[in-house]
Structure formats: C-alpha cells, structure tokens
Chains A and B, each alone.
Chain A
Amino acid sequence: MENIKQIIVDLLPEAVFEEKEKLTVIVEPTDLRRLIKLLYDNKDLPFDYLVYLIGMDWGEKLGVIYLLSSSTDTSKEIVIKTGTADRENPLLYTVTDFYETAHLNEREVYAMYGIRFINNPDMRRFLLNDDWVGFPMRKDYDGDPAINPVSVVSKDIIDKAPRIMETPEGLKEEIVNVFEPDDYLINIGPQHPSTHGVMHFRTALNGEVVKKIDIHSGYIHRGIEKLSESLMYPQILHFTDRLDYLSANINRHALCMCVEKAAGIEVPLRAQYIRTIMDELNRMSSHLLAWSAQTNDLGATTAFIYGMREREMILDIFDKTCGGRLIINQNVIGGVMFDIYADFQKDVKAFIPYMREKLKEYDRFFSHNVIALGRMVKIGILSRQDAISYGVTGPAGRASGWACDVRKYQPYALYDQVEFKEIIRNESDSYARYLNRLDEIEESLKIIEQLIDNIPEGEHLAKTKAIIRLPEGEYYQGVEAGKGLFGVYIESRGDKTPYRLKFRSPSLSLVSVMPLICKNEKISDFIGIGGSMDYVIPDIDR
C-alpha cells in the first residue's frame, strides 16, 4: 500500500493523508475523479470495487466518504473523503461511470443530505418521496412531524428524472423521461408476494420480454441510521437484527465487533466459538429460506415446505439458547448474552447428519428437475465484471466467479482457524447462484463440525463499562452475511452515541443489478431471477 500512497502524492501533491485504521485521503471535489481514475486504472492493484459510499454531514462541510477496494484482493482498502462547504446547493461529481453501485447510493445521499451529483444520469431521491421536506440525515434537520405528516392520499408516479450534466458551456440542469412515451408499463410491487418484500419494480415490457426496469424503494425505510445517532451503542444493537432479519445474528456480530474493536474490548474465546457457530447456523437458516423462497417462486410449493421444515430445526436450537427464533438477540458488546444450554452440542450434532441427508434429498428432487433447470440455467447472467462494478457479493457474487468471501479475505472471529472451501462458480446464471447456496450449507456444516466439540470453558461475556464511549475515530467492520458483505461504519467523536453510523447493505447491490440481468429476459423469469438473488428489502431501505 506504500506505493499506492506514493502514486497518489505524485498525482495530487496537495492531498491530505490521515493516519487512521485504513489509508485515508482527503481531496477537493474537483480532484476526486482524477484520483479515482488513477486508482481504478492502477495495474498491479486496480481499485475497481466500491465497498461503501457514505454521505456525511461534518458540520462545516457536507460530503461523501468512499471506501474502495480491489476485486483481486478485497483486503486492500483505501478511503477517500471529499466535501463541500456549500449547504444551500451542494454539488459533487459522480463516480457512477466507474462503479455502477454508486448510482443508487448517490441517489440515497441526495435524499438524505441534499448533495446532488453532477453527471449522474438520474438524480431522483431514493428511499424518500420526491416531495419530502428537508434532508433527514443532516444534523440540522427539523424532525417536526407536522412538516412531513403521514398522508394516505395515493400519488401518481411521475417518470421524470432531474439531473445535472456538465457541458462545455457549464452545468446544465435538465429533466429526462425514464421511459419512452409508448412503453407498456406494469408495476411489480410494492405489495407483491414474489418481490421478497416491499420492492417496487416499474417494468417496461415488450410483449412478455422485459425492456427496462426502474427501481423504487423506500417502502420500508425506517430511518435506522438517523435513530442510531441519538442512541447509545448497546441500544443500537437490536436495529441490526431488523435490517436483514434472515442474517440477524451475523449483522449484530458486525456491529458488536466494530464497537469492541473501537473500545478495545477483548472477547472471551468461548464467546468467539459460540458466535461463530451461531453465525453458521444463522447462515444455514438464511440459505434454507432463500432456497425455499426461490423454489416457491419457480412454482414448487412443496419444496418450500421442505426447506422450512429443516429451517425450523435450526430455529428450535436458537429458541432453546436464547428464547428467540428469527431475531435472537444473542450477541452483545463483549460476548454473547446467554451461554449455550446443556444439550446444545448434542442438538447441533444431531442436526448435522440430518441436514446432509436433506441436502441429498433436495438435490434428488429439485436440483435436476427438468423444469427447474429450464428456468434457471443460462437465465439472469451476471458477468464477473458487472458483479464487481455493482458490488454484488455473497453467494451471488461468487456464482459470477468473483472470490469475495469476507470470511476468507478478512477473517474475523474464528474463521482463520477453520477449514472451509470458498464456493465459486463461473456459470454466472440463476442456477449457479442456486447451487452456491446449497454448497455453502455444506461448508457451514463443516465449520460447525470443527468447532462444536472444542468449545472452551470460561466466560461467555467480557465485563464492559456501563456506558461505552468510543474514542474519537472512524471504524469499519465487515462480515459475510447470508447475502454478502454486511458492513458497519462508525464515526465517533468520543461520545456515548455515534456521530455517524452507516450500514453497508449487501441487498442493495443485489437489487441494483436486477435491471441489468433481467433485461431481455421473460417477465416470468424476472421472478425466478429475483428468487436467485435473494435480497431482503428492509436491509436496503434501512
């Protein structure tokens, strides 16, 4: 990374470096694109993967933090910050042409902070309605409910997108049509059983072939990031469970680790074992639900019942451990809230061979079914390059041949001490994503097998201060959730509440890629592809 620093200095001698956990560069908005181009085109280590795009209100400045990484080595990271002091009409330059994932993220930053991005082709607000008054994530936002009252009047959706483009004559504001005038439009969602939540896809059809999809989100935007800014760290924990509720325990693990890292809390080894095992159980339950929902989407209702049957056994183990089923409130700062119960090992060990048997059963009655194959093989192709550009991680990213497992490349908890295979396929279609999940269940079983007999005696919860204050600084922590990289970013100013908390949602990438991979597919396959991507909407909307 030293030579990276050198080439940045060569390009931008006036750039400011900060000695933080990660290499951090502060640049002027006008220099941002030059720097990103340099890093993107860097031969030895191309920074072609935008992990986080975080809107910020530093008080005197509004700005954005970019965390870039390389698809060839996701452990190499660089942070770029830029900002503008203009609060009335803040403008920054887009990076959408380098990273497609920036598109929706920049729209979200616009909705939350009011920063518009020059040259972003579509600058509508993401998550919030167009007529929302104020920018909620700004520190001076007026949260009076009278300003934005609850309305039950349905509004028409106007498919017109404002944008600011840079032309030789200067900046030009214009409004463009999202669809062509004679497009045949249908709405899929927000209240639709096959969108896996309240997602709204405005779809232009050509016969029964998808021509264009426009994503509307925010039907479950709960303002978690803003709420967190007024809560203490232990009080925030439960929000993570309700983001991607299928990976509830894994998400919570990420936030706990981030706080522990910042506060310098040592987690007992026993807690690490319990966390890792619970994470893998949680991953299996997530993948089983994904499998069930996907087969259900393809019309196999019986398979849905089968998947839920196995999932229920995992939930029973959760239930006995801590009383929760879906949302288990197990991880807390410093360890786990409850120790495992007496028969935990016995139950888990009984589950492992049972699950192996069932995986064979799934394989026998669904994976080679001719109808299933017809609806998955060579459908919804996502190339490796697009997966990286859109930031598609998790089983879906690995089905496109991209090695991006956080457990392998930035191991946390006990993942550096266990043997497991990173499942990678190159077919890039729905079927590869489908098989990846089933294979990952097998890998999870292997991980649990290696740990279950070796759980050491000792404390399950480290002693922490009653009020946890994090030292000033910026902290990142990523974990491999069921859907991909779930990340937490905390900026602390030495207080007991975070100054800024950002969750990096894996599902946002999965959804943002839908318009690309569904184009020119049949409308019925759109549902099947959605099932294979396995996104969770509250995770996107936060």
Chain B
Amino acid sequence: MEMKNISIKGIPNEEFNENEYLENYIEELKANGVNIVLSNLDDMINWGRSNSIWPLIFATSCCGIEFMSAAAAHHDIARFGMEVTRNSPRQADLMLVAGTIVHKMAPLLKRVYDQMAEPKYVLAMGGCAISGGPFVNSYHVVNGVDEIIPVDVYVPGCPPRPEALFYGLLQLQRKIKVEEFLKRPGKKKSKKSE
C-alpha cells in the first residue's frame, strides 16, 4: 500500500527530507503483522495522539538546557502540543533522552523506560545519547542509549539546536500517524516472519 499523505501542521510529506525511513517503517510494521492506518477513526485517534505527546525529560547534561530553551517562549514547544512535560513515567508517552548515559545511570534509564505505559517512544537527543558522543572512549559511558532501550528518533548535534529537536519531534509525529491504534476484533494477525 502506498503511504498516505501524513500532514503535520499542514506541512506535506514532500517538505520532509527523510521519507524513506517512514516507508521502511511501514514495511516493517506490515511484515510484523501490524496494520497501518486505514480507517478514519484511526486517523482521528492518531491526530490526537501525535499532537499531544507528553514527554518525560530524561535530561542528564547539556542537551537538557537546550530542551529548556525549546520549552521557553522563544522557541515554544507548546506549538506542537508537547509542553506538558511529565515527571512521572506513568504519564508520559515519549522519553526524551537528553545527555550522556553512563554505567551508573543505565539501570535507572531502563527502569524508568519500563515504568512508562505503552504506547511509548524514545527520542535520543544529541551525540552522547546516540553513540556516546565525545566521550565514546570513556570507561564509564554507555555508547548510545539504543544499547539499552529501543530508540525511535535520533537527533544529532552537540547539543542540537531547538530547531533540530523540533524536526525530530515532527518526524516522531509522522511515525505515530501511520500506526494502527485500534485492533479490529476478529481480524487475524499474520504470523511473524521467522
């Protein structure tokens, strides 16, 4: 099936640089037996879900300050419905890992992630969260949070500018919009390819 036009804030698909990943993602969803959005009801639910992503800020270092800038009036994250930062993982949809994750922190990151309710997403903000960044050779630094938890969106930079963060968040919104949220009863799932 062709990808539907996923519009975020009226920005059409063609305006985004990376569309391939979304098509791959749809293929992956289909291969794993997850349907992608077909019905209008799903569309509506996803409209709501993607426009009110409540982030949990797992900010350990510099990137956290750039998130604060993104949340303040000048850049204003509220435009995307994400200003409701949650301090409890139970209430959050998105974990925003902003900063270096070290050995001592790794169990806590996993624990907080496990405490979040499904559906949940992870955004790795900055070089450290992606790969260990400038500290990649250190004895105490985890080389990327994707060693511990699955990551949906990577935002490079050291630290990324708020604009870059927003671009990543828009990509996440697009990702959410193609997922099927409602499971139709009676419809059999195709088996996971072995």
Chain A contacts to B: CB under 8 angstroms: 128-129, 136, 141, 143, 145, 148, 150-155, 190-193, 197-198, 218-224, 226-227, 230, 238-239, 242, 245-246, 289, 304-305, 308-309, 311-312, 315, 325-327, 537-538
B159 proximal to A (CB < 8 A):
yes
Q: Could you tell me the distance in whole angstroms from the C-beta of A361 to the nearest C-beta in chain B?
A: 15
Interchain CA distance A509-B57 in the complex, whole Å: 26
B residues bordering A, Cβ < 8 Å? Answer: 57-62, 64-66, 68-69, 72-74, 85, 87, 99-100, 102-112, 134-135, 137-142, 147-148, 158-159, 161
- Contact in complex: A220, B61 (CB < 8 Å): yes
Query: Contacts A220-B102, A224-B135 known; A190 to B72 CB distance under 8 Å?
Result: no
Pairwise interchain contact A326-B102, C-beta atoms closer than 8 A: no
A-B pairs under 8 A by CB, number: 124
CB-based contact A155/B107 at 8 Å: yes
Report whether A190 and B105 are in contact in the complex, using a CB–CB cutoff of 8 Å: yes
Bound Cα distance from A223 to B136, whole angstroms: 10
**14 pairs, CB–CB < 8 Å, chain A vs chain B:** A136-B140, A151-B103, A152-B110, A191-B58, A191-B108, A197-B64, A218-B104, A222-B102, A223-B139, A238-B134, A308-B69, A309-B72, A325-B66, A538-B100
Top-4 shortest CB links A-B:
A308-B72, A223-B138, A245-B62, A152-B110
Compute how far the CA of A191 lies from the CA of B66 in the bound complex, rounded to whole angstroms.
17
Q: Are B62 and A305 in contact (CB under 8 A)?
A: no
Q: Is the CB of B100 within 8 A of A222?
A: yes
List residues of chain B with CB within 8 A of the CB of A198. 60, 105
A224 to B139, CA, bound (A): 10
Q: Residue A150 contacts which of B64, B138, B147, B161 (CB distance < 8 angstroms)?
A: B147
Known: A191-B112, A224-B135, A308-B74. A219 touches B62 (CB 8 A): no
Q: Contact between B141 and A223 (Cβ–Cβ < 8 Å)?
A: yes
**Which chain B positions have C-beta within 8 A of A226?**
138-139
Contacts of A305 in B (CB 8 A): 72-73
Q: Determine whether the beta carbon of B106 is less than 8 Å from that of A151.
A: yes
CB-based nearest A residue for B138: A223
**Distance of A198 Cα from B99 Cα, bound (Å):** 10
Cβ–Cβ contact B158 & A327, under 8 A: yes
| Residues of chain A lying within 8 A (CB to CB) of residue B104 | 128-129, 218-219, 221
Q: Given the interface contacts A129-B104, A326-B159, A327-B158, does A150 sit within 8 Å of B148 by beta carbon?
A: yes
Chain B residue contacts of A230, Cβ below 8 A: 137
- Tell me which residues across on chain A come within 8 A of B137, comparing CB atoms: 227, 230
CA distance A129 to B107 in the complex (A): 12
Is the beta-carbon distance between B60 and A220 smaller than 8 angstroms?
A: yes
- In the complex, besides A128-B104, A152-B106, A220-B102, 7 extra interface pairs with C-beta distance below 8 angstroms are A143-B139, A148-B139, A220-B60, A220-B100, A325-B66, A326-B66, A326-B69
Q: Which residues of B contact A325 (CB under 8 A)?
A: 66, 69, 161
Cross-chain contact B73 with A242 (CB below 8 angstroms): no
